[in-house]
Structure 1
Amino acid sequence: MNDSIHLALAGNPNAGKTTLFNHLTGSHQHVGNYPGVTVEKKEGFHSHKDFAIQVVDLPGTYSLTAYSVEELVARDYLVNEQPDVVVNIVDAVNLERNLYLTCQFLELGVPLVIALNMVDAAEKRGISINATELSRLLGVPVLPIVARSGRGVPDLLDAVLAVSQEKKRPPTLLRYGSDIDYALRDCITLIEEGQLLTHCYPARWTALKILENDEQIISQVMRADARAGRQLLSLSETLTQHLRHTLDAYPEAVIADHRYGFIKAILRQGVVTRAFDEDRLYASDKIDKIVTHQVLGPLLMAAILFGLYSFTFNWSGFLVDALGYLFELLGAIAEISLPEGPLKSMLISGLIDGVGGVFGFVPIIMFMFFGIAVLEDSGYLARVAFMMDRIFHFFGLHGSSVMPFIVSGGIAGGCAVPGVLAARTLRSPKERMATLLTVPFMNCGAKLPVLTLIIGAFFADHQPAYMFLATLFTWTVALLAAKFLRLTVLKGESTPFVMELPPYRFPTLRGLFTHTWERTWQYIKKAGTVILGISILLWAMMTYPSLPAAEAEKFAVQQQLAAPPEAIAQLERQKAEAGLRHSLAGRIGLALEPISQYAGFDWRTNIALVGGFAAKEVIVSTLGTAYSLGETNPEDAAPLKERLAADPRWSPAAALAFLVFVMFYSPCFVTAVAIAKESGSWKWAFFSIGFNTTLASILAIAIFQAGQLLG
């Protein structure tokens, strides 16, 4: 390669930004987090005409005013990293709204290329866009593309190469009316005299952000020069009072109105023509008449959800069995090859039976993620959020709480940490806090292996039905808990909800496989790092301290005197169980048993549940280790679910109680940290741990005791 280019993809959510990123980078990409935040960072590489292009997919955002962490991350990246070119992906069907972000890129003066995406969908709606005229009026290249199919992408990359070789483009100056323009002039003078943030931003752009009450920019200005910062805030306050008195509006609203006025003026200059009546119903609208219907919509949603679980369990079974046989084979090889001792015990019980139990659920996770990717990429999940708003409002939550619930595992397979972070979009502090405290109830990807294990062991003939019912029960309990919180510790009125429904699209196989692999790989990495470390730690806790020498000698003498092989095997099992009881983990489990027995949990189950405080997947690996330590012949050991089903201490009632407890008890440690960070206080994290565990205990005890009475 002769040269390299740093390219950033930016745009509104649902504009096709990630689709273009996947088309460009394919498998040459990796996913991490931006420093200091848990917002996902995607980077990849592409080559075009002997240029190596580093591609960064920025978080979707509607604005560069930092009202949310996504907007803050996108803006900071553009300013601090200074990419060679910014490709602004614009939805051709919703051109006016998408160009609002474009205006802010123009004002910031970044090297810009506009990718006019989904022109095929616009054409089907009779919308024709003159990209050449739009480019002339905006002063930047505008290239029509279809990111899903790659149409127009080579021309887009040609424009990227051309812009990367040009000199820095000066910022575009938009006019905002005499009141704001005069205030901007005074602010710019102060900013330029004090050299306030001029190394980062154009002076006029900084002035605009101050008038828009951008907290981050104001904070940076105050740190740089507090005296000048107070003067700027005084000018902003004077303007605010004047606009409130004369127009009954805030500066932010007036600035937004003028930006949209600028956009409309451009679009009316022969840029957009329509062949059909704007009131015509298009395919997406016709589908939505059924999909979002008050009665048919929820029924269809339930059917789709049940279909997802049926697809997952019916098609992943053979792969789960194959992985199970693989780990059994590894255990048998280790049993034959390794000498007796702690290393052999750790490898077989801690690693193969423990972590192997978690890895065994990778096929189920993969199929689940694939199904969710279909729903997400098609645009259906946005309809789920729209329909659920009516229900959420009744329970004191905001419609925007729906997406944090879904992200956390509302359909199954998410993660509570990004769900907690997604609640940042809520403006009402009490609705936001109620969302933070209830999203951990969702069935995240960490709980899936546990649910799959128990359902497979005790309700194998009806796995999709039980998974479907578990999801409904999770949502019901979460909403009731939210209602309780909103009536007690978080009293307050609900705020209205407005959202835009993206058009339906056929998902591409490449996009589906990319999304599935990204999420599955995250699960595999967690199982191979965090879960591995915790499993080895718990194995040590379940092994040490070992039995006292006198008691071990007693078992040895009994084995020497025992004749039948069955008697020797029975003594081995008794010795292994005595060793587990004597270990640190065993003592903790036994100490909890006087309480947990009312929910049907014995001391061995308690060990797994304690491990689940760190990460829910650990429950499976800990159960695998605990039951493996009690086996005398690992070669003949049955899969974990068969061991649980054969254990007389387990029953269907105990299994249901266990499922419910796992679904609702304390959030994992990382989620608790996220709650503390987002709420600004550890008291809410501890409240979540205590409230969730108390609720889970009550439900589990009620289910088990009812099962005992009915059984």
Structure 2
Amino acid sequence: MNTPDRPATLHVALAGQQNAGKSTLFNLLTGMAQHVANYPGVTVDKKTGSYRDGATRVEVVDLPGTYSLTAFSLEERVARSYLLAEAPDVVVNVLDASNLRRGLYLTFQLLELGFPTIIVLNMMDMAARRGLEIDLAALETRLCVPVVPVIGRKGEGAEALRAAILGAAAAPRRGGASLNYGLLEPAVAEIQAALADQPALAGLSARWLAVKLLEQDAEAERLLTDRLPDTPDLLARAQQARAAHEARHGRSAGDTISAARDQLAGEIVATCITDTKAGHVPLSERIDRFLLNRWLAPLFLTASIWVIYQLSIVQGYELTKVTWPFLAGLRNLAADLLPDAGFLYDPQSRALGLWLVDSANTLLNYVPIFLILFALIAMLEDSGYMARIAFILDRVLHRFGLHGQSTLPFILAGVFAGGCAVPGVMATKGIPDHRARMATILTVPFMNCMAKIPLYTLLINIYFPQSKGLMLFYLSTITVIAALLVAKLLTVSVLRKEETAPFVMELPHYHLPTVSGVLRRALDRTWMYIQKVGTTVLAIAVVIYFLLQFPGVAPDRQAQYQTRAETAITQFYAAMGENPHRTVVDDPARLVELVNVYTDYRAAKLNAQGQVASDKVDAKYLGAHPEFAPFLARGGDADTRAAGRALKQLADARKTLRREIRQEKIETSLLGQIGRGLEPVTQFADFDWKINVALLASFAARESSVATLGVLFEQDEGENTTLEQRMGAERADQGYTALTAVAIMLFFALYPPCLATVIMVRIQTDSYRWMAFSIVFPTILGLAVASAVFTLGTMLDLTGLQMMTAVYVTALGLLLVVGLPKPTLRRSPARGPQIRPQMEDRQ
């Protein structure tokens, strides 16, 4: 039985500013008993966990890091909405002990909400190294709430914190320190008294709401209107008080409130903290003298980006060589469990099942990259350098509606070549400005991911063999120019009404990341990727499958293929003649089984690395199918060799037939029909149905463009030519020119993101509308650019290289025109936040 001071369940909210170590304390309290999701309707992480303290179960929610409880940013609104709606039993306010004045700005607002509150001074070791001696008793006296010192990354103070949480929940409720707002205090008291008399506002702090109304907080005004729809006089009184204060004192109520909080924070710091190293330059500032030096900062930033790129993208892809065999093994297992393949056609259950497995494996193959990437990002965040990256590049990117933290997503997506848009879009989650974050998400796919390079290489080798280097330079840089220009266009058009936040530039102290913290965050974020993408991709993969498979090959064509298959089988039996091994496959069903085993066996032998692996393949297949050994084994007597030759001819004939069927399916499929139906529109860019189908197929995966072209431009029997040679040979018949190649490459550069990236856009925006926009807008833009390039080039009789040069010069000039005007808001680094009481437009 639970005693009154030992409740069965406690609800605790962790609140604090960014970089205060809040997540570290959350992990320290909850251990592995935690769950990561999203708050309803938003993409902000919601981390929940629990632990048991005796008979009490303590549920902990880690609120988004925020500097205040205003309505400026999404994180601030989410944190405030949770506190007001859920009314936790205890609020644990985490502060950086080495920068107490900065954290107290939020503390005063939490205390005004009236919840039982505990102040946790984290990073006490950092404060000691800086020579700061904190009088904890004096601080408790000034704030009127318990103060608990901890060192989260070392696990020190956890037990004291747990005891303080139980104590705060059991103790009678008493308010914390009440901030006096000076000249504005009479107005605050008057409105507070009026609000306190309203029964509909029970459970809501009248003082907190009064202050918010005087700050002209839109969310607070909406809250009051919802609770008291028939009392507009309270809003009018708050408006009158604001106007009277500004007229009498020459400053807004918001400025007065901010100044009062800052003044009290300064007084508390002055009375409770002794600086024994006054005048000493902290280590973080000494490091910044080098890392943020005007001339050295770009070098350090470039080196950091290069390391992230090399370790996550390059080395991550190398690790996929280790993990892929496991995924391939899962596919083989699925293939064994599904119905057997037919001679020409597979059962739909098998074809669809393997399609889904292949689709999932494509995304799961990114897991090694994500593990490395998220670990590196966690290290940058914990060390404090991530904020420096934002500071260094924010001024430039801000001119185009982006944010300093847009840099990392662009790099991961492949600024010049070789990245991947999926981790690039995922990395946008840390951008605090919603408008800039959306602009980044929608422009990251313009970067040159690895999968775009094969098509560029193919077309350049065919049409620009003498200008390969110049064309690659154009393509690798014009995508960056396009991304910046499109970001600017979006932020002044469809994104102009999206939420922005007043810019807060904070340079936290440097810290050494902990192994446990880095690993935990990397695993958490990777698991979220597996969960979210794994469910969505299967649904979309089914749609793509049916678009490519149906209506299928016409009945008369099926009959022709069947006749050819029967002829190949007849030739096999004729070649076998009186061969004694023929008795094994006299039954046609056994023959189909033999061909399937032989096909799998040959594929396994080709993938085997070294003689040992090859011998294992032999042992596996010969052991599993001893009756087929004469057909699979090498060498042997004349009958065995003859059986092997006959089987190889049959398998090759089957492979040819199946390839032709696949090609015809593509041509007659819904996707193929769409390709032909698009010709009236795409003809202005000189795209025929084959190009259209290749581009449509590349939506599933960028690599599919070249693979589809390889099927569409198939070589004749007996030839052995490259795709470049086959496409080049058809230039005269199809009318393809170098201008066509330029139009295709520019369209491909601006083309909608691939299937995996589109899924990630949906996840990160939590909106099907923005997912659709990420497909439709780039399609229209890319087709317009490609059509203009081909049409103007043809009219002016320009070569492909001349037209590409003209496009590049025009885009670069436009970039300079848009980017040269200085932004309206200047930024500067600060050791604490630059809190602004009014919203600032970032345009």
Q: The TM-score by the shorter chain falls in which range?
A: 0.7 to 0.9
CA distance in 2, matches of 1:525, 1:315: 24
Deviations 1:469-524 (A, max 9, x none): 999766543223345667999999x9995511111111111111111112211221
Q: Does 1:571 align with 2:569?
A: no
**1:419-438 equivalent positions in 2, closer than 5 A:** 419=428, 424=433, 432=435, 436-438=438-440
How far apart, CA to CA, are the structure 1 residues paired with 2:34 and 2:801? 51
Secondary structure of the equivalent of 1:148?
Answer: helix
Partner Cα separation in structure 2 for residue 143 and residue 164 of structure 1? 15
Deviation at 1:158, TM superposition (A): 1.7
Quick check: 1:15–1:91 contact (8 Å CA) kept in 2? yes
Q: Is contact 1:128-1:274 (8 Å) kept?
A: yes
Equivalent residue of 2:23, what SS?
helix
The aligned counterpart of 2:646 is: none
In the TM superposition, what is the alpha-carbon distance from 1:95 to its structure 2 partner? 0.7
Within 1, Cα distance between the matches of 2:783 and 2:490? Answer: 18
- SS of the residue corresponding to residue 92 of structure 2 reads strand
Residue equivalent to 1:289: 289
Higher mean C-alpha deviation, range 570-579 or range 185-194 = 185-194
1:21-62 CA distances to partner (integer Å, 9 max, x unpaired)?
123333321111112222211011234455432221001111
Deviation at 1:312, TM superposition (A): 2.4
1:308 and 1:421 map into 2 onto residues whose CA distance is: 16
CA pair 629-694 structure 1, distance change in 2 beyond 3 A: closer
Distance 2:537 2:802 in 1: 34
Following the alignment from structure 1 to structure 2, what is the Cα–Cα distance between the partners of residues 19 and 4? 23
1:184-218 CA-to-partner distances (Å, cap 9, x unmatched) read 2332333233334223x122222121111121221
1:273 aligned partner, one-letter code: T
Structure 1 CA distance, aligned partners of 2:538 and 2:710?
16
Identify the structure with bigger relative contact order (alpha carbons < 8 Å, sequence gap 6+).
2
The alpha-carbon distance between structure 1 residues 366 and 417, as it changes in their structure 2 partners (threshold 3 A), is closer
SS at 1:602 equivalent: helix
The answer to whether residue 389 in structure 2 is matched with residue 300 in structure 1 is no
**1:128 and 2:133 are equivalent in the alignment:** yes
| Correspondence for 1:588 | 674
| 2:529 partner SS | helix
1:692 to 773, 778, 787: 778
Counterpart contact for 1:113–1:140, Cα < 8 Å = yes
Cα-Cα RMSD: 4.4
- 2:179 alignment partner, SS class: coil
Is 1:195 aligned to 2:199, yes or no?
yes
Partner of 1:637: none
Return 410-419 or 152-161, whichever deviates more.
Answer: 410-419
Aligned-residue offset at 1:329: 3.9
Q: Give the residue type in structure 1 aligned to 2:278.
A: D
Write the mapping of 1:563-642 to structure 2, written as runs, cut at 5 A.
Answer: 563=571, 564-565=649-650, 566-592=652-678, 595=682, 602-609=691-698, 612=699, 618-619=700-701
Asked whether the 8 Å contact 1:539–1:625 carries over to 2, the reply is no
CA contact (8 A) 1:354 1:625 kept: no
CA distance in 2, matches of 1:95, 1:573: 69
Residue 533 of structure 2 is matched in structure 1 by 527
Secondary structure of 2:152's counterpart equals coil
The 3 A distance-change label for structure 1 pair 273 and 475 is farther
Q: What is aligned with 1:29? A: 34
Q: Which residue of 1 aligns with 2:558?
A: 552
SS at 2:154 equivalent: coil
Pairwise mapping of residues 194-593 of structure 1 onto structure 2 (< 5 A)?
Answer: 194-199=198-203, 201-228=204-231, 230-269=232-271, 271-278=272-279, 280-335=280-335, 338-340=339-341, 341-348=347-354, 350-393=355-398, 395-397=399-401, 401-403=403-405, 405=406, 411-412=412-413, 414=423, 416=425, 419=428, 424=433, 432=435, 436-442=438-444, 451-453=449-451, 475-483=480-488, 499-562=505-568, 563=571, 564-565=649-650, 566-592=652-678
Alignment deviations for residues 76-103 of structure 1 (CA, whole Å, 9 cap, x no partner)? 2122222221110001122112011111
1:680-708 deviation line (CA, Å, top 9, x unaligned): xx8x9987655433444577797999589
Deviation per residue, 1:112-154 (Å, 9 max, x gap)? 1111011211222212211222112211111111211112222
Q: Secondary structure at the match of 1:5?
A: strand
The structure-2 alpha-carbon separation of the partners of 1:176 and 1:118, relative to structure 1 and needing over 3 Å to count, comes to same
Q: Does 1:73 align with 2:69?
A: no
Is this contact kept in 2: 1:599–1:657, CA < 8 A?
no
SS of residue matched to 1:32 = strand
Aligned to 2:59: 54
1:9 Cα deviation from its structure 2 partner: 0.6
2: distance between equivalents of 1:552 and 1:45? Answer: 61
Give 1:585 deviation, angstroms: 2.5
**Partner Cα distance (2:394, 2:745) in 1:** 30
Distance in 1 of aligned mates of 2:752 and 2:771: 18
Provide the C-alpha distance between the structure 1 equivalents of 2:473 and 2:154, rounded to a whole number of angstroms: 35
- CA offset digits 1:343-389 (Å, max 9, x no partner): 111122x1232222222222122222222222222111111110112
**Cα separation, 2, equivalents of 1:347 and 1:457:** 29
The letter of the residue matching 2:509 is P
Contact 2:548 2:669 in 1 (8 A): yes
Distance 1:334 1:245, change over 3 A: closer
Q: Distance in 2 between matches of 1:648 and 1:290?
A: 56
> Residues of 1 paired with 2:786 and 2:51: CA distance?
53
How far apart, CA to CA, are the structure 1 residues paired with 2:223 and 2:767? 22
Q: Residues 133, 221 of structure 1: CA spacing in aligned structure 2 closer, same or farther, 3 A cutoff?
A: same
Q: Specify the SS of the correspondent of 2:701.
A: helix
- 1:308 and 1:360 mapped to 2: Cα distance? 19
8 Å CA contact 1:354–1:623 kept in 2: the answer is no
Distance 1:380 1:139, change over 3 A: same
Q: CA separation of 1:604/1:468 partners in 2, compared to 1, >3 Å: closer, same or farther? A: same
Task: Give the secondary structure class of the aligned counterpart of 1:268.
Answer: helix
* Aligned residue in 2 for 1:95: 100
Q: 1:490 to 1:662 in 2, by over 3 A?
A: closer
Does the Cα contact within 8 Å between 2:387 and 2:507 map onto a contact in 1?
yes
Asked if the contact 2:752/2:779 (under 8 Å) is kept, the reply is no
TM-score, normalised with respect to structure 1 = 0.80
Partners of 2:336 and 2:149 lie apart in 1 by 64
Question: Would you say 1:12 and 2:50 are equivalent positions?
Answer: no
| 1:32–1:674 Cα change, 3 Å | closer
Q: 1:550 to 1:13 in 2, by over 3 A?
A: same
Opposite residue 251 of structure 1, the aligned amino acid is A
Task: Give the letter aligned to residue 538 of structure 2.
Answer: L
Query: Counterpart of 2:668 in structure 1: which amino acid?
Result: H
Structure 1 549/529 Cα, relative in aligned 2: closer, same or farther at 3 Å?
A: same
| Count of residue pairs brought into register by the alignment | 659
What is the match of residue 636 of structure 1?
none
TM normalised by structure 2 equals 0.69
Which letter maps to 1:287? I
Equivalent pair of 1:23/1:150 in contact (CA under 8 Å): yes
Is there any run of 5+ residues in structure 1 with no aligned partner, and where? 426-431, 460-466, 613-617, 631-643
- Bigger drift between 470-479 and 5-14 goes to 470-479
